[in-house]
Structure 1
């Protein structure tokens, strides 16, 4: 029995090892991404373009853009694209690539790619006016004012006790009072409103609490009983209420530039909330997904959305209910990650995307 068990373990280990080798080999031998037949030979980048839109002009698999982008080794940020850049399609060393035309056509792109450009120093380019991966206006709120925190930590922070004049509506310049751990006089703090908790669908465990910053305040004094006086310096479209929490402003660690790339998360996920909506998401919507940094998620990760197949009755087999296979329904790109939750932008949707839709990395081919 012991011998047969050992043999079974060896077989399982060999099977797992073989699977890894096959996956590695498949990726290593994977052919280059297919350029669309109608891809433009020359494209002038316009203000308002996004990297995803440009990628989609050239590739059926836009997340593989970096594989055909001819980067300039003489530039510190070689992946940046700017309005009025002229992109040209070239065949260089047998590979179809896209680069910025510097006036020499494909010969110039090849020089940049191979490093055969005379340059005394590496040029540094600004990210300020570069083309974003996705529209920043669509995600700015979820970058600046909304975060996901640990509910236990949130409940231990000081809370708003009252305003000086007991106003229902407060504004910049008003005085408010907070009770709890005394705050540091002269320190700037954020005032945050508690939102809905996030629950892991399978375990029903709370995995995060969404909070929204409603104001910024400066601690001006601490009374003997520990009550802190604060003066509001900025408000963000909402009044400060009793019970709102006060703590150091959260800074989301978002890279200045990120690029669409196939996700390398350690498990599949699902859409757990459609932001600013009670129904379904479409292209341009923002959704929350149950994949975070602990699962390997990072800004720029692209995932395919699969909608569960319809439940039908098999009329040939006594009306037995049968679930049809799940079908790809769209794609999302992560732009902000937390421990167990991420915000993602809907890049495309063939169907309305609903809570519960499954998420997997896009197929490599």
Structure 2
């Protein structure tokens, strides 16, 4: 990689970013673990060895809309999940890695076999090869500006509602749709449905089909109950039990619901669960702080195998120390074959090969969901994962 000019690597004063108070407060609350801070502090004092840089790491990068912390880490480092080291390259200027905005320029400084990142700002529009002057710069963000996200949220956002696991078979006793408007067999957006059950004061619901059991690939232990997502509904009018006109019997009047969104058509027998609040910002890529391993429990949906940008269920969850943002390495079992180079063939097994990366975005007690960030071979239930 060509060495950068000394003039281009001048140390800058801190770049101040003035954003809306809410955006600053939101970003400043993003989780940074003690281990990530320790790594960043350690790297901040010495920089990153050049051997840890990506082979084609650029001398500089201008942050653009659509960039993520993962993208920038991948641009400069061999291992994108080691973002604390990218942050630690310049703790003085990048005090909070979640407050990096489009338009800011990151310069890679390489001295004495080490590398650091610094903020910079190009002044003027000279020709290629001209000296680039750098100066302290204050950047004022418009009121609608937001820090770059940590990962591409559009890849997982649809699954934050779709992929749901219950620790017990709670849907078996959950409120259920018992009738449809005017006897319709299936319902769509805007239609009316009638339901019975204990709504527990909730008014906003997700609709599910009968759940399927998720089992550990090795022990067959029940990890949870995965519920196929159907849609959402709002409670329009609660149900009631009231006396009949003659006062001799009780009339059961189901609750009235309006279907708000559908992924597939809603029908009688579908179950209801209160919709939880979601925080789409708390997804910070980081490696587990201790050794961890497990297996793929299931492929989300109807597929037999999974590829890049698909979702898998892991047989590890909160009780095992899995967190949102954990990054795992995917492994392919070595192929069993025969060594025929001797007089008598012998059974051998080739080494396991690492062939992909998982990013955990949702964690339950005994199971978690992960996005396949990259992969070389199809992923199937039973495949192994470890810390990266």
Same fold (TM over 0.5): yes
The residue that corresponds to 1:284 in the other structure is 309
- Calculate the aligned-residue CA RMSD, in Å: 3.5
Q: Structure 2: how far apart are the matches of 1:156 and 1:285?
A: 31
Residue 131, structure 1, aligned to residue 148, structure 2: yes
**Closer, same or farther: CA 166–73 of 1 in aligned 2, 3 Å:** farther
Q: Structure 2: how far apart are the matches of 1:273 and 1:156?
A: 25
Check the 8 A contact 1:183/1:228 in 2, yes or no.
Answer: no
**Closer, same or farther: CA 346–146 of 1 in aligned 2, 3 Å:** closer
Check the 8 A contact 1:88/1:100 in 2, yes or no.
Answer: yes
**Closer, same or farther: CA 267–126 of 1 in aligned 2, 3 Å:** farther
Q: Structure 2: how far apart are the matches of 1:324 and 1:135?
A: 35
Q: Structure 1: how far apart are the matches of 2:200 and 2:157?
A: 29
Residue 63, structure 1, aligned to residue 81, structure 2: yes
Residue 81, structure 1, aligned to residue 100, structure 2: yes
TM norm structure 1: 0.75
The residue that corresponds to 1:13 in the other structure is none
Which residues of structure 1 form unaligned runs of 5+?
A: 1-27, 118-122
Structure 1 residues 192-271: aligned runs within 5 Å: 192-211=208-227, 212-224=229-241, 227-252=253-278, 254=279, 256-264=281-289, 267-271=292-296
| Counterpart among 156, 179, 192 of residue 175 in structure 1 | 192
After superposition, the C-alpha distances for 1:191-226 in whole angstroms (9 at most, x for unaligned) are 222343211112212211222251212140323155
Q: Structure 1: how far apart are the matches of 2:106 and 2:83?
A: 13
Number of matched pairs:
322
1:130 CA drift (Å): 3.2
Check the 8 A contact 2:307/2:375 in 1, yes or no.
Answer: yes
TM norm structure 2: 0.71
1:355 CA drift (Å): 2.2
1:106 CA drift (Å): 11
After superposition, the C-alpha distances for 1:40-95 in whole angstroms (9 at most, x for unaligned) are 11111233333323212211122212113246668884433333221111258985
Check the 8 A contact 1:179/1:226 in 2, yes or no.
Answer: no
Check the 8 A contact 2:296/2:313 in 1, yes or no.
Answer: yes
The residue that corresponds to 1:150 in the other structure is 167
**Closer, same or farther: CA 65–174 of 1 in aligned 2, 3 Å:** closer
Residue 331, structure 1, aligned to residue 350, structure 2: no
The residue that corresponds to 1:296 in the other structure is 321
Relative to structure 2, which stretch is displaced further, 200-209 or 255-264? Answer: 255-264
| Counterpart among 319, 343, 348 of residue 369 in structure 2 | 343
**Closer, same or farther: CA 326–130 of 1 in aligned 2, 3 Å:** same
1:268 CA drift (Å): 0.9
SS at match of 1:281: coil
| Counterpart among 71, 74, 98 of residue 53 in structure 1 | 71
**Closer, same or farther: CA 353–175 of 1 in aligned 2, 3 Å:** closer
Check the 8 A contact 2:169/2:211 in 1, yes or no.
Answer: no
Q: Structure 1: how far apart are the matches of 2:145 and 2:369?
A: 23
Structure 1 residues 5-16: aligned runs within 5 Å: none
Relative to structure 2, which stretch is displaced further, 39-48 or 296-305? Answer: 39-48
The residue that corresponds to 2:25 in the other structure is none
Residue 100, structure 1, aligned to residue 119, structure 2: yes
**Closer, same or farther: CA 317–176 of 1 in aligned 2, 3 Å:** farther
SS at match of 2:156: helix
